[in-house]
Amino acid sequence: MLNYSVDAEGIATVEFDYPGKSQNILNAGSMGAYAEAMQKALADPAVKGIVLASAKKDFIAGGDLGEMAGCTDAAAFHASISNWHKLMRGIELGGKPVAAALNGTTLGGGMEVALSCHYRVAADNPKARFGFPEVTLGLLPGAGGTQRVPRLVGMQAAAPLLMEGKRIKVAEAQKIGLIHAVVKVGAERTAARQWVLEAIASGAKPLQPWDAKGFKIPGGGPATPGGMQMLMAANAMLREKTYDNYPAPKHILSCVYEGLSTNIDTGLAIEARYFTNLVMSPVSKNMIRSLFFGMQEANKLASRPAGVPPQKYTKVGMLGAGMMGAGIAMSTATAGIDIVLLDTTQEAADKGKAYAAKQWGKQVAKGRMTQEAADALLARIHPTADYADLKGCELVIEAVFEKREIKADVTKKAEAVIAAEAIFASNTSTLPITGLAEASARPANFIGLHFFSPAEKMPLVEIIVGKATSDATLARSMDYVRAIGKTPIVVNDSRGFYTSRVFGTYVSEGMALLEEGVPPALIDKAGLMAGMPVGPLALADEVSIELVHKIGQQTRADLGAAYVERAADRVAAKMVAELGRLGRKSGAGFYDYPADGPKRLWPGLAGHFPAVADVPSVEQIIERLILVQSVETARCLEEKVLRAPIDADVGAILGWGYPPFRGGPIGWLHTLGMPAAVATLDRLAERHGSRFAAPRILREMAAKEERFYPA
Ligand code: NAD
């Protein structure tokens, strides 16, 4: 855990060296060892000063999230965190100078360990990042971070670090005063030791700024006019952004306000209570499970079929240089893979490449990329109209028009050129993969790779396994998704797959509410308050009401008598066929899009969908907008469209911005508890219809008191 040594001049070196991991992490074990080492050094009269260091390439990556996610005993947690505070105060007031040598990235609890030292010197390591990512997982920096950071750098500079989890580079960390000095890589321990020797020689008792007489918070405390103004603005911004769904940033603000209104020891006691509250909250458990462990599992390809050798990609083909094709080409080129971008004419293919040039040009203009780097990426994109250029591609992806015949045609033409073992993937958003694979001479190598728009930015790829798709094709496709830095989820073939199917229920429910006479402004506001990034009607405009209409018609045609008409079908038909309002692309949908200002709800809506007198409460609307997604997701699990609940949750958050505080559509059922979730669905089904009917899988789980995730 820790290496401990004392040199001839009485300087103890306490070196973090977490066994069996590439990173140092803080948990009960490593903190226990640290406490023991520091107490020994403080008590030993032969030790005059202390240097903290790391045996890994970084300093400390942060706290052990598994330990926090699994914590169920609030009193025990509070006691242990109070002990950390005692230890850190003991170090600060122990009379011996302590310096931290930060060789690399120092985050979260690691930064807090460093902040309880009298001096911090960092290596000039361009890869190193400093900050407090806790808030991004529903937590706060609870080992003194909310108290020491603003006392050190002022409330203004502390805000983005604590409340947004912003990570900064070494130069900025020094500039704002988070660290004292920056030295050449490799010189940080010597520099820390030098400072300790000088501090000993000075004979003065080492003190933190907040323990010195006459200490003043840089820039003023909460009770100064500037401080008050900053806190009021931060609070207002927070509410506007989060609708109070995320307790962590709010608690951080409370820690800063309450803690900085008093002395550091009381401040730490206040922080310990807020921290315990967050660790116990379902929000942090949901966020840690989905955003951290779920994402990690997906990115490590935990579900990749075993026994298939990893596939390296050097050349990929892209059919269709439209919006999706150009974006996928950008992502592929960025990963250092050559990409043949094919369209019906050279001109159309060039247009796709021009899109990439424009996007990267913007990056260059913003100073985020050099012109040289942009040119190198562009050189990897080869626009063409000639199928012969696909020769040598390990993978070809099609993103041509959403028409079966066109997709069949390009599949045949590409397969005539590419090697027998090459993969052919479709980026279709609605057409079942098994059907499309009928055009293929090698359906085992045929798979769905469903990207999201804009493809160069969106992090998720939904991989769709058709009936004939082989495990090897799946495994090798997963390798491609990781190679381009995206996160894959794997689903089985079905109408709308997983993401479009569930995301569609949110939009449809919004349209059902409109038909019932709920004021549209209330519907979209409720969507935002539910935590969704966009209200359902605004979203319908974005994806186009026409598309909602078309998909409804297609599904009706495919299912025949089995099709159950939905309110959304009637609303979409009225908007498109009767009123000619197709959505944003036509400049008119549920909203108007005036050229000279922001969009606003179309005043004519009220005439076509008159408001009821008995408007449901915003809570009732939120419940419907959220649970309609959960119940459809549960059906996807029951029908084995989804292979694992965590895929549902990761896919929802990354794919359509489902609110992370709920954990995901399944995470939310887990949060409610299965019996309560089923009871609520029964109530909703009785009032609003069978779309809310709890599937068997949920009833059985409720009866057996089972859960999707550990308690
Ligand atoms: P788009 O209209 O922007 O681009 C389609 C491109 O395909 C055009 O450049 C067109 O010239 C080209 N094309 C048409 N027929 C061709 C052929 N025979 N050979 C070669 N090129 C041909 O469409 P898009 O939005 O990029 O969508 C493409 C596909 O991706 C569709 O299947 C769509 O369902 C799917 N998709 C779209 C989105 C989205 O948000 N737009 C998201 C996921 C998936």
> Quick check: 123 and 136 in contact, CB under 8 A?
no
Determine whether the shortest distance from the Cβ of 322 to ligand 1 is under 6 A.
yes
Rounded to an integer, what distance in angstroms lies between the CA atom of residue 147 and that of residue 393? 56
pLDDT of residue 555: 86
- 564, two tokens: 């159950």
Query: How much distance in Å is there from the Cα of 341 to the middle of ligand 1?
Result: 12
* Dist CA 22 CA 147 (whole Å): 30
CA angle 665, 668, 673 (to 5 degrees): 135
Atom index in ligand 1 nearest the CA of residue 342 equals 20
Distance 41 CA to ligand 1 centre (A): 66
Residue type (1 letter), 345: T
- Whole-number Å distance, alpha carbon 621 to ligand 1 midpoint, is 35
Question: How far, CA to CA in Å, does 709 sit from each of 187, 197, 492, 528?
Answer: 47, 53, 22, 27
Coil, helix or strand at residue 340? strand
* Ligand 1 atom nearest to 322, measured from its CA: 4
CB distance 429 to ligand 1 below 6 Å: yes
- Ligand 1 centre from 554 Cα, in Å? 18
pLDDT at residue 559 in the model: 87
327 lines ligand 1 (CB under 6 A): no
Q: Are the C-beta atoms of residues 154 and 219 closer than 8 Å to each other?
A: yes
Residue 258 annotated in active site: no
pLDDT of residue 558: 84
Ligand 1 site, residue 428, Cβ cutoff 6 A: yes
Contact (CB, 8 A) for 52 and 40: no
Which residue matches tokens 């409610």? 672
In short, whether 499's Cβ falls inside 6 Å of ligand 1 is no
Spacing, Cα 403 to ligand 1 middle (Å)? 9
329 Cβ below 6 A of ligand 1: no
Q: 166 to each of 100, 162, 278, 402, how far by Cα in Å?
A: 22, 7, 19, 41
DSSP 16-68: E--TTSSS-EESHHHHHHHHHHHHHHHH-TT--EEEEEESSSSSB-EE-HHHH
Three-state secondary-structure class, residue 120: strand
The answer to whether 485 and 456 have CB atoms below 8 angstroms apart is no
Domains, the chain, in order of start with CATH, read: 2-280 (3.90.226.10), 315-494 (3.40.50.720), 499-621 (1.10.1040.50)
pTM score of the predicted model: 0.94
Residue 430: its pLDDT value, please?
Answer: 87
Q: What pLDDT, on a 0 to 100 scale, did the predictor assign at position 376?
A: 98
Which residues of the chain have a pLDDT value below 50? none
Catalytic-role residue among 462, 509, 546, 632:
462
Q: Ligand 1 atom 35: the closest Cα is on which residue?
A: 428
How many CA atoms lie less than 13 Å away from 641 in the CB half-sphere?
A: 21
Ligand 1 closest atom vs CA 428: 32
Distance 346 CA to ligand 1 centre (A): 16
Helices (H), 391-535: 404-415, 433-436, 471-483, 499-516, 520-529
Report the first-to-last Cα separation within the chain, whole angstroms.
Answer: 30
pLDDT at 583: 96
Q: Which atom of ligand 1 is nearest to the CA of 430?
A: 34
> Ligand 1 within 6 A of 301 CB?
no
Mutate to test the pocket of ligand 1, among 319, 324, 402, 429 (most ligand atoms within 8 A of CB): 324
Q: Which residues contact 467 (CB under 8 A, 6 or more apart)?
A: 434, 437, 443, 493
485, two tokens:
């830095």
Question: Does the C-beta of 680 come closer than 6 Å to ligand 1?
Answer: no
Ligand 1 center to 452 CA (angstroms): 12
CB distance 346 to ligand 1 below 6 Å: no
CB distance 400 to ligand 1 below 6 Å: yes
384 CB less than 6 Å from ligand 1?
A: no
DSSP symbols for 622-680: HHHHHHHHHHHHHHHHHTTSBS-HHHHHHHHHHHH---GGG-SHHHHHHHH-HHHHHHH
The region that residue 26 occupies, defined by phi over 0 for left and psi between -120 and 50 for alpha, beta otherwise, is beta
Ligand 1 centroid distance, CA of 316 (Å): 17
Predicted pLDDT of residue 711: 76
Which residues, at least 6 apart from 373, have a Cβ–Cβ distance to it below 8 Å?
none
